[in-house]
Chains A and B, each alone.
Chain A
Amino acid sequence: MTIDEQGSESESIGYDLHVNGQTYPVEATLDRNLLGVLRTEIGLTGTKEGCDDCECGACMVLLDGQPVNSCSYLAAQAQGRQITTIEGLGNADQLHPLQECLLAHGGVQCGFCTPGMIISAHALLERNSSPSRDEVGIGLSGNLCRCTGYAKIIDAVLDSASNGSVEPTP
């Protein structure tokens, strides 16, 4: 995962990243994006890469609680900020309510957009705890899903909101 495909000659720089409550020292060249560093240096592969230009949202993470396309954010620029990835929201033994709702409503098919979708939904519900259907649509519009037609994802987010399941970002 390098941004510069011409064969980078630049030197690595060292910095710390705070991810899901843990600190990771990183040595990487400046051109590395946050997505690549999360996936290959830190080993958190739940965040996905689906496009070249901020269009699909599969790479969505929270930066100080706000959704960011990690594909177009420099990893080095994230130092000193709190990064939350899908791995920080819940696990198989204790699913986050959004994760549970998504499964119960059939909002998961191939699953490739799912981590980014959950991150965006989480950020949306933190901004607006009782969104309308249209507000959910706009709020998730940066996350493309090709499987579901969005209906069941939007249902799940609305259901999650009505259950008051928004929890503070860990």
Chain B
Amino acid sequence: MTERPNPLLIANTIDEALDAVSRGSTPIAGGTDLVVGARQGNKRLPASLVAIDRVEELQSIGLDSDGSLSIGSGVTHATLMSSTVVVTNYTALADAAALIGSPATRNVGTIGGNVMNGSPAMDTGAPLAVFDAMIQLSTVAGNRQITTSELWVAPGQTSAEPDELCTAIIIAPQPDRSGSAYVRLEYRRSMEIAVVGAAAVVTLGLDGTIAGCRIALTAVAPTIVLVDGLESLIGQAIGEATLATVADLASSQAAPISDLRASEQYRSHSVGVMAKRAVLAAARRATGESISVPVNRSIGVGSDGQRQWEAGAS
């Protein structure tokens, strides 16, 4: 009889977790992807697991000495959406976390799990991409940091090595007068998966025109798409023409598939709408206006503030 690895190690420290991963154990945090996948027969549960949900070092949100935000990979969506620093400075990420699944999913699901699952429909992906987040991958030998576009290589596939564990997500400080937002198309007001989505971070100049803008798109390509060609917006005021340009750029750079959630044409069209709204909400937040998290529910369709999309654009 061959020797079996420990089927489940409950790690209390990063070192314990890394050691188990180095010996072939698969990390599990909330289990929402792994266990559901196994139940549906998509993928068998790995024979050896290391539970990392009790590693306190992975559960903190803090500022590094250079002012960067460091989010432990074990931080849950529920924590992210209510963290003051995230809501204040990286609001798009809070918008996204607040939209994931149900309260229960948000309680156990972690940002690390979301990021390492590599789904093009992941809600936290586009916000991390627009913030130029670095993903910290660790082994028993040490750490390395890579960009999100280096990490996500194909649907459900990352460039991480089997012995690497995602331990943190690091985001540099955003310039003054910046705001961000994540908006997604959803058919119900909750329990949705992104049909398409868009995150934007907008920095305004002192004159109120656009000084910087980054947009990323969810569920319109094999991985999260960063929109190119936004330089033309620099110096422009936020208005209907600017937003129309944003929508066109986003729609034209989307390369979606048709599936049971939406057709290619509808996705291409609606991702432009999402991009436009994300930019508008981000710009309003950049002026210091408070739009509560998630922006989908505070000014999305079905909320009392829905008309603000139009009001803000004119």
Contact = CB atoms under 8 A, between A and B. Distances in A.
Interface of A: 3-6, 10-11, 13, 30-31, 33, 52-55, 57, 60, 63, 66-69, 71-74, 76-77, 79-80, 120, 123-124, 137-139, 141-143
A162 B80 CA distance: 29
Given A67-B104, A77-B28, A141-B102, A33 B39 contact: yes
A73 B191 contact: no
Contacts, number: 108
A141 B49 CA distance: 31
A159 B38 CA distance: 40
Contacts of B28: 74, 77
27 contacts: A4-B38, A4-B44, A4-B45, A10-B47, A13-B7, A30-B7, A30-B8, A31-B45, A33-B39, A54-B36, A54-B105, A60-B104, A69-B32, A69-B105, A69-B108, A72-B32, A72-B35, A72-B36, A72-B39, A76-B7, A76-B8, A77-B10, A80-B10, A137-B189, A139-B103, A142-B104, A142-B190
B49 A57 contact: no
A84 to B, nearest CB: 13
A142 B47 contact: no
Given A30-B49, A77-B8, A124-B103, A3 B39 contact: yes
B10 A142 contact: no
A13 to B, nearest CB: 6
B107 A67 contact: yes
A71 B35 CA distance: 8
Interface in B178-201: 189-191
A4 B47 CA distance: 11
A68 B108 contact: yes
B188 to A, nearest CB: 8
B208 interface: no
A142 B191 contact: yes
A124 B35 CA distance: 25
A160 B147 CA distance: 48
Interface of B: 4, 7-8, 10, 28, 30-32, 35-36, 38-41, 44-45, 47, 49, 51, 53, 78, 101-105, 107-108, 189-191, 297
Given A3-B38, A77-B31, A120-B104, A141 B45 contact: no
- In this complex, the member of B40, B101, B190, B191 whose beta carbon has the largest number of chain A beta carbons within 10 angstroms is B191
Nearest to A9: B47
A10 B45 CA distance: 11
Contacts of B103: 67, 120, 123-124, 138-139, 141-142
B105 A6 contact: no
Contact of B10 (A68, A71, A79): A79
A51 to B, nearest CB: 10
Contacts of A3: 35, 38-39, 45
Nearest to A123: B103
Given A10-B7, A77-B31, A141-B190, A69 B38 contact: no
Given A3-B45, A68-B107, A139-B103, A11 B35 contact: no
Given A141-B189, A141-B191, A73 B10 contact: no
Contacts of B189: 137-138, 141
A120 B107 CA distance: 12
Given A30-B7, A77-B51, A57 B38 contact: no
A153 to B, nearest CB: 15
Given A5-B41, A13-B7, A30-B8, A142 B49 contact: no
A10 to B, nearest CB: 7
Given A67-B107, A138-B190, A31 B38 contact: yes
Contacts of B47: 10, 30
Given A72-B31, A138-B189, A57 B45 contact: no
A66 B35 contact: no
Given A57-B102, A142-B190, 17 more contacts: A3-B35, A3-B38, A10-B4, A11-B4, A30-B7, A30-B47, A30-B49, A67-B103, A68-B108, A72-B31, A72-B39, A74-B35, A76-B8, A77-B8, A77-B28, A77-B53, A138-B190
A4 B102 CA distance: 25
Nearest to A124: B103
Nearest to B32: A72
Nearest to B190: A141
